[in-house]
A = this chain, B = another copy of it.
Amino acid sequence: MKTYANALPLALKGCLNLHSRIDTLIELAVDEDAPMGDLTSEAIFSPEHQSRANIIARQDMVICGLDIARKVFERIDPDMTVSLQAKDGDWIERGNNVIVLEGSTISLMTSERIALNFLKRLSGIATLSRTYADAARATGTGVRIVDTRKTTPGWRSIEKYAVRCGGCSNHRASLSEHVMIKENHITAAGSLTKAVKLAHDYAPHLAKVEVETENMDDVREALQAGAEVILLDNMSLEEITEAVKLINHRATVEVSGGITLEAIADYAATGVDVISVGALTHSAPAADFSMIIPRD
């Protein structure tokens, strides 16, 4: 079983444009924020009134969601000029422009909040992920930080993209791929070994089988049963160290359980391959942006 020699790609991989459902999410957003247009702007401006505006980062951050923001502006008004000043995954310092816009003032004002709401959430996740990725890289162990399925319903695909933009990796995307045998499965099935056997028979030949374990007996049984990945859930650093020694590279080792940024180095030192962190997606604070129409 390999460890991840280069777990943190320096350059972003992946193409947000290829994800499905982004248009659905944008449509929902337009529908909830501007079902009948922007009353205020329509009252004040004629459709011909033009403005220029800048979208500015109001904190240091890893930017994420620029292509979605562009799609929002184009959805509201295909005639708007949208000029991206950065690429998803870039490190942006406070005060920098990330998008320059030009077009109908009504369109600019109507799009602002929708676009910013996408940017805020995705950049918040990417920025938090970056702190974890940096902490992992600093350990020199090749340990990989991964997300979980604790994502915002409707947003999984793009939240996992934001995690990668921050330099972390993804766990499985859904219940329909790979096998992850958890405590509830084992309780209901009555036997860890039996559950692994059934999974190996049923799952596609490309799927690995991961088993959640709570103590050394579970670890031994999972290893014996042929689990390709063993998850050590909520174990102490001592138990983890013992389990890593016991497993001895015969399976990939993942740990989880409320692991904080500060604890990354200690967990990495145990020799585990993967640390999963739910907070990357479920509790990242929003990044701060504003749109400014400059006074001439």
Binding site for B on A (CB under 8 A): 2, 4-7, 9, 11, 13-15, 17-21, 24-47, 49, 51, 53, 76-77, 104-110, 112-114, 116-118, 120-121, 124, 144, 146, 149-157, 160-161, 169-182, 184-185, 187-189, 194-195, 198-208, 210, 226, 229, 252, 254, 273-274, 278-279, 282-283, 285-286, 291-295
Contact = CB atoms under 8 A, between A and B. Distances in A.
Contacts of A171: 204-206
A107 B202 CA distance: 18
23 contacts: A5-B201, A11-B46, A14-B42, A18-B38, A21-B28, A25-B28, A31-B35, A32-B154, A32-B174, A40-B182, A41-B185, A42-B202, A43-B202, A113-B150, A117-B149, A152-B152, A170-B204, A172-B206, A173-B176, A180-B206, A187-B293, A206-B207, A279-B286
Given A31-B31, A39-B203, A279-B286, 20 more contacts: A15-B104, A18-B34, A19-B35, A20-B31, A21-B32, A34-B176, A36-B161, A44-B185, A44-B195, A51-B184, A114-B153, A120-B150, A120-B282, A144-B205, A152-B152, A170-B204, A184-B293, A187-B294, A188-B293, A282-B285
Contact of A40 (B31, B41, B179): B179
Contact of A117 (B32, B151, B169): B151
A204 B172 contact: yes
A42 B11 CA distance: 12
Q: How many copies does the complex hold?
A: 6
Contacts of A53: 184
